[in-house]
Each structure stands twice: as structure tokens, then as C-alpha cells.
Amino acid sequence: MKIIIMGSGKVGHKLVEQLAQEGHDIVVIDSNPAALQALVDTEDVMCVEGNAVDYQVQLEAGISEADLVIACTDGDELNMLCCLLARKHGAARTIARVRKPEYYDQLPFIREEMGLSFAINPERASANVISRVLIFPAATSIEPFAKGRVELMEFALDAGNALIGKSLVEINKRFSFRVLICAVQRGQEVFIPGGSDVLEAGDRIYLVSSHDELQSFFKEIDLFRSSVKNVMIVGGGKISYYLAKRLLFQGMHVKIIEQNMERCRELCEQLPAATVVCGDGSHEELLLEEGIQEVDAFVAMTGMDEINAILSLYAKTRNVSKIITKVTQLSFTEMLEKIGIQTIISPKEVTANQIVRYVRAVSASVADNSVESLSRLIGGRLEALEFLVEKKAPFTGIPLKDLSIQPGFLVACIVRDRELIIPGGNDTIEEDDTVILVTTRPHVKSLHEMLA
């Protein structure tokens, strides 16, 4: 596909990295020559310097032949205008990044009137990711599939865990749950485990099942944590607003600490049920005064990665059971994980992953088994993909044990007529099934690719 990206900021740069790896023809438009040069130095892309709403600039970028235009500049209105003009000039599809809360309720109307193929709100998407983890605090991350009927959960094996030292075969015999351990990260290694593989302390394992089955699993291994009731958020930005709104709706008590007085007034008006404290959340005295030692979850959402990291470490010393840390520099992620901060959120990565999922779906070469949903994990080294089997295919009706499935692929779950199937060797894939495929192979676009 020919893709034009308007804006080379953090999200634009991340999109270039990921979409270039997928083999697409990328053109970037930006008025900042230094930002464009940084892209040219690291990626195989074409760059056009200029204003993205300038007709001549769009023509130079080849707008009329574009399969997709992604507008991710700093301005919502500019993004929408760029997409509107791109459609007028012949672009096949457009995606706009729209961040302001006041546009949230209007997005369906905006999409229809401006011909947007897709609109992404990074802050709201990030808040949704965080809220899922707070509903199930034992998890490090949760990705929903099949309209929420299936969940892919990341979970760290700390010392003393009942699963350590046991093979997958032993685990299946000992514990009575319908949960599949579909992937393991061990240090720098990521692999799909077989029945003889033994789990070790420090492993990060990825589980697939329904929400209820996963709850039963954690209860059986005696690691179930009660739901979060009290949440402290430091930083009152857009993510905090969307997150607090969602958590309040779910019946949680939310306290936001923000040092900007004007922003505090806005939050008080927008979130009357929340407690808003005006002060510097990096001060220990204030955190103790506001009861950090008594909360169920702590969310570090300031605009500085370093402060978020320090706050998270401090919350850990106060024995807060669930800590979530926002970062903008992905290089921080591995360091934070090594010092015990396990739930880390990167808004630009959330945004890029959602857009890559959309691009993967529309560019799929096999229309009857194209990607419905996609989650990229561990920096893209592991992918979980959802497919809808719309037509008979060479792999339908054949037991999985008789299919020549390549190494690095696992059929993790099948949903058939609302029934969730954790597949064994005798199970089959049928027409109209929803299939969750987990793979360590990059850029998969079709179920056909799992076959040797």
C-alpha cells in the first residue's frame, strides 16, 4: 500500500517504523526539516517538506494515488482538514488522530461527514487499556478479542508461584481450568511453549480464555486479587480525564493530584464525582497526606517519564498492590520492568498498534480470512490476531493435529456460535468461526500463512 503520513512527531515516527517493516511505501509530510531528516537517516521513506493542507504539497506527495492517508499532527482540526482534503484529492482511505475530549461524542458524526475511514483518540485508547488492567489487577496487561468474549492476559511469574517448575502437561493435569498458556517471554527469548516446556521464575506468560475462566485460574493458584476500589492518579492530563471518567462509571473512588490550578478547576467541572487535589504529586508529604498507602492502585500520569518512574518506585515502597506507569520513551520500558514496575503504558504505542491493525486488515491479500483484530506484544516480537473464517478454506474441517502448522504459530482459541473452545488436536476450524492466532512471526495477514 502507498501510505502518506502527515506529521512526523512521536506517533508519526512510530508509525513509520512499524509500517515500513510491513513493507508499505511510505511518504511523510511535515514542515519541520530536522524531523524529516531524522526519519530519512533511520528509515527507508520519502519525505516532503511543507504544510500538509497545502494542495501543492499533497500533490508532490502523490495524494491521488494514496491507498491511505494518516493525519497525526499536533492539531485535531488540522488532522481532520488534512483528511478531508486528501479524500477530495483522491486518497482511498483516511485516518485522523483526534484527541480533544469535546470531540469524543461527535466522532461518529465527524467520521461520516468528513469521510474518515478511522479516527483514533490516543488518550481515550490508553485509558481503556489501563481500565481493563484495573478491573483484573493480577494481570500486567489484557487484550480483548471476539467482542470481549476472549481475553489475552500477560502475567509475571514471581518467586513462589505455584506454576514454577512445572511443565505445561503437569499444569493441565493438576489444575482444572480452561486456560491456554500460549506464549512465554524468558529474558530476551520469546517462544510458544510445548507440553514439555517447564515454567521458570521470572517468566512472563500469556494466557488465553474468557474473563470468568481467567478469574477461576487465578483463584485456583491462589493469586486472585480483589477488584480495585480506590485509585490515585498523579497528573491531570487527557488520559487521566478519560480514565477517571471510566473508573467512576465502574463504581471506583478516584483521586487526581494535579498542580495546575486552572486544570484542577476544569477537572472538578468535568468529573464532579472525583476528588481533585491541587498540588505537586512528586512531594512525598502530599502523597502521604492524601493516603497513598491506603489505595488499591496508583497511576503515574505526569508529562515526565522520569517523574513517573520515581513515583511508581515510591508507590512500590508504600506497598501499593497495583502500579501503572505512563512512558513516552519506549527505551524506559525495559529498565522499569527490570526494577519491578510491570504495567507500563505508552500512548504512542497504543495509537500506532491500533492503526497498524487497521492497515493490516485493509491490506490483507486473502479477503475471506483477513485480520479482524491485532495486538502487538513485547515490542512486536509476539502478535495475537483475530480472524473471521468467512468461507471454506483448505484448513477447515481438518483436525488441528493433521494440519501442517509451521513452528511459531499456535491456534490459541476458537469461538463458534458464542462457545469458546480452547482447542486440542482433535478440534477443527470451521466456516464462520472466530479464530485467535498467536505467532512469533511478523506481519501475518491471513490464516493461510500458518500452514507449511
Q: Are residues 315 and 419 in the same domain?
A: no
**Domain boundary pick from 201, 226, 251:** 226
Q: Are residues 109 and 205 in the same domain?
A: no
Residue 105 pLDDT? 74
Check the CA dihedral 136-100-241-350 and report its sign: positive
Q: Are residues 186 and 112 in the same domain?
A: no
Kindly state whether residue 14 falls inside one of the protein's structural domains: yes
Closest listed residue to residue 205, CA positions, set 195, 194, 192: 192
Residue 397, number of CB atoms within 10 A of its CB: 11
- Give me the amino acid identity at 14: K
- Domains: count for the chain: 4
Kindly state whether residue 139 falls inside one of the protein's structural domains: yes
**Domain boundary pick from 105, 120, 135:** 120
Q: Are residues 102 and 132 in the same domain?
A: no
* The C-alpha cell that represents 358 in the structure block: 487497521
Residue 366 pLDDT? 40
Q: Are residues 345 and 435 in the same domain?
A: no
Residues 6+ apart with CB under 8 A from 288: none
Q: Are residues 371 and 343 in the same domain?
A: no
Q: Are residues 387 and 281 in the same domain?
A: no
Q: Are residues 91 and 146 in the same domain?
A: no
Residue 369 pLDDT? 58
Q: Are residues 236 and 329 in the same domain?
A: yes
Residue 381 pLDDT? 87
Kindly state whether residue 355 falls inside one of the protein's structural domains: no
Kindly state whether residue 387 falls inside one of the protein's structural domains: yes
Q: Are residues 142 and 213 in the same domain?
A: yes
pLDDT in tens, the chain (452 residues): 899 999 988 888 889 988 888 888 999 999 999 999 988 888 889 999 999 999 899 999 999 999 999 999 989 999 999 999 999 989 999 999 998 888 877 878 888 888 888 888 889 999 999 998 998 888 888 988 888 889 999 988 888 888 899 999 998 888 777 889 999 999 889 999 998 999 999 899 999 999 888 888 888 877 776 678 999 999 999 999 999 999 999 999 999 999 999 999 999 999 999 999 999 999 999 999 999 999 999 999 999 999 999 999 999 999 998 999 999 887 777 778 777 787 899 988 888 888 888 887 776 544 455 678 888 888 778 999 999 887 778 889 999 999 999 999 999 999 998 889 999 889 999 988 999 999 998 888 888 889 97
In this prediction the pTM is 0.85
Residues 6+ apart with CB under 8 A from 230: 252, 253, 255, 294, 295, 296, 297
Residue 364 pLDDT? 59
Residue 111 pLDDT? 84
Kindly state whether residue 356 falls inside one of the protein's structural domains: no
Closest listed residue to residue 141, CA positions, set 412, 396, 395, 378: 378
Residue 393 pLDDT? 82
Kindly state whether residue 360 falls inside one of the protein's structural domains: no
| pLDDT per position as a tens digit, 192-237 | 999 899 999 989 999 999 988 888 888 887 777 667 899 999 999 9
Q: Are residues 93 and 116 in the same domain?
A: yes
Domain, as residue range, for 243: 230-350
Pairwise CA distance, residues 371 & 113, whole Å: 27
Check the CA dihedral 286-293-303-243 and report its sign: negative
Pairwise CA distance, residues 372 & 108, whole Å: 20
Q: Are residues 213 and 288 in the same domain?
A: no
> What's the CATH number where 208 sits?
3.30.70.1450
Residue 306 pLDDT? 93
Kindly state whether residue 177 falls inside one of the protein's structural domains: yes
> What's the CATH number where 334 sits?
3.40.50.720
**Domain boundary pick from 211, 226, 241:** 226
Kindly state whether residue 362 falls inside one of the protein's structural domains: no
Exposure of 128 by Cβ count < 10 A (0-12 exposed, 13-18 middle, 19+ buried)? middle
Residue 365 pLDDT? 47
